[in-house]
Amino acid sequence: MSRTHLSSVPDSVRWLTLLGTIITQFALGSVYTWSLFNGQLSQKLDAPVSQVAFSFGLLSLGLALSSSIAGKLQERFGVRNVAIGAGLLLALGFYLTAQANSLLMLWLSAGVLVGLADGAGYLMTLSNCVKWFPERKGVISACAIGAYGLGSLGFKFICSSLLAHFSLENTFLIWGALAMSMVILGALLMKDAPQQRASQNKNGEAAALDFSLAQSMRMPQYWMLALMFLTACMSGLYVIGVAKDIGEGMVHLSTQTAASAVTIIAIANLSGRLILGVLSDKIARIRVITLAQVVSLAGMAILLFTRMNETTFFISVACIAFSFGGTITVYPSLVSDFFGLNNLTKNYGVIYLGFGIGSVLGSLIASLFGGFTVTFSLIMTLLVISLVMSLVIRIPHRERSMQQVLQRG
């Protein structure tokens, strides 16, 4: 990769990369419309909805796993080629999903294949775009991850319309072709970000040394950030996934009223991405994470310790969704603050495995120990631990950290 400094690159290059990233992220976010298809797939395959829905759990795991290796692919092939490959693989996954006539084939196509394709494009293009804008990393993350969130909303209308006019199989084919076209179009607008020179961060402190993945993983800060991220993902993904059931089972709301939580969550999630993303360019990013943790703790406390009604239920899930959306937006920039921009895709990629683990851990604990209360209690305990960590963690000092890394290396 070229070591050209950003100042020698025309502004149009990075703005086109941002535009391409937003288009690509919008298309990749379409996978979050998956619940629209569970009912028809259940009928087609004569299988329980729960088993059909398991494909989305596999998708989340595949997304996290491929995100963790996307940095190595980018080093070898470049962001444009890997993104184009992700678009082609995404279309292949949807094509095979359209042909699926068994649960196993559905899990492999819609779960594993689509998840791997989505993850290969998601984190790599996001990290590359952030590298182009080191002076406004928070805003750029908010734009890119906001586009990913808007993709789930936009494609909800697109896929609903397709299902109303076409067969299930043709809907998957059209969806795949449309998503592939958008990803490839976005990829053609992107260029790999140049290596960054050491500089000062927005607080006037020395910027983090560029640690390799191996060096980062030897440092306690890395695992502290990983645990905080896992906790945020576990709390957000679990509560978002069962919000309707919480409303019906704990608050005794009608099905229609409880289902309104989906809209509340979508608005709060997007608001968290935008508000905390912008805020992270104005104050220390770790303090933004602390704020997100406090908001999430407030939501979890309402769920655990109050006699809920409709209003407090919506407030609690909104707090958790707001915190989750903000956390995943701020985290790429936060990791770059600690370990440098140049290896961000690889350093954040391993931490991002917490998204896949968190997507199944909450549900697994609930199924093993029975119900919401135990899971909420564990999440709240982890949130308290994470809050303490966010208050005591410090960005590695350049000289001392390098000495430690060399000693251990």
pLDDT in tens, 200-221: 444 444 455 788 889 999 999 9
The topology under which CATH files domain 213-403 is Growth Hormone; Chain: A; (1.20.1250)
Which 3 state secondary structure label does DSSP give 340? coil
Given this model, what pLDDT does residue 401 score?
A: 47
The mean pLDDT value for 365-390 works out to 89
Q: What is the pLDDT of residue 16?
A: 95
The 10s digit of each residue's pLDDT in 218-235 is: 999 999 999 999 999 999
- Where is pLDDT greater, at 384 or 32? 384
pLDDT score, position 160:
87
Q: What is the pLDDT of residue 208?
A: 52
pLDDT at position 404:
53
Share of the chain residues as helix, strand and coil, in percent rounded to the nearest 5: 85, 0, 15
Query: Could you tell me what percent of the chain has a pLDDT over 90?
Result: 46
CA distances from 267 to 128, 146, 160, 270, 271 (A): 27, 11, 20, 5, 6
Lowest mean pLDDT among 76-85, 144-153, 373-382: 144-153
Compute the mean pLDDT over every residue in the chain, rounded to the nearest whole number: 86
Q: How confident is the model at residue 266 (pLDDT cuts 50, 70, 90)?
A: confident
CB-CB contact of 355 with 118 (8 Å)? no
pLDDT at 1: 38
Neighbours of 150 (CB within 10 A): 17
* CA distance between the termini of the chain: 25
137-165 helix and 168-189 helix, angle to the nearest 10 degrees:
150
Q: Return the pLDDT at 197.
A: 61
Residue 202: its pLDDT value, please? 45
Looking at 147-161, 235-249, 264-278, which range is the least confident one?
Answer: 235-249
Given a contact cutoff of 8 angstroms between Cβ atoms, the answer to whether 117 and 59 are in contact is: no
Please tell me the number of Cα atoms within 13 Å of 91 on its side-chain side. 14
Q: Which residue has the higher pLDDT, 397 or 62?
A: 62
pLDDT for the residue 198 = 52
Domain 12-189: give its CATH architecture: Up-down Bundle (1.20)
Sign of CA dihedral 167, 157, 140, 359: negative
| pLDDT at res. 180 | 97
- Residue 406: pLDDT band (50, 70, 90) is very low
Rounded to an integer, the average pLDDT of 369-379 is: 84
Whether 53 has a pLDDT exceeding 70, the answer reads yes
Element (H, E) at 220: helix 220-249
Query: How far is it, in rounded angstroms, from Cα 254 to Cα 221?
Result: 45
Structure tokens at 328: 């995943």
CA atoms of 226 and 219, how far apart (whole Å): 11
Residue 56 has pLDDT above 60, yes or no: yes
Average pLDDT estimate for 311-323: 92
The CATH 1.20.1250.20 portion of the chain extends over 12-189, 213-403
Single-letter code of the amino acid located at 165:
H
Can you name the residues that pair with 206 across neighbouring β-strands?
200
Once rounded to an integer, what is the mean pLDDT over residues 176-203? 82
pTM score:
0.79
Decide if pLDDT at 407 tops 90. Answer: no
Residue 127's pLDDT is 87
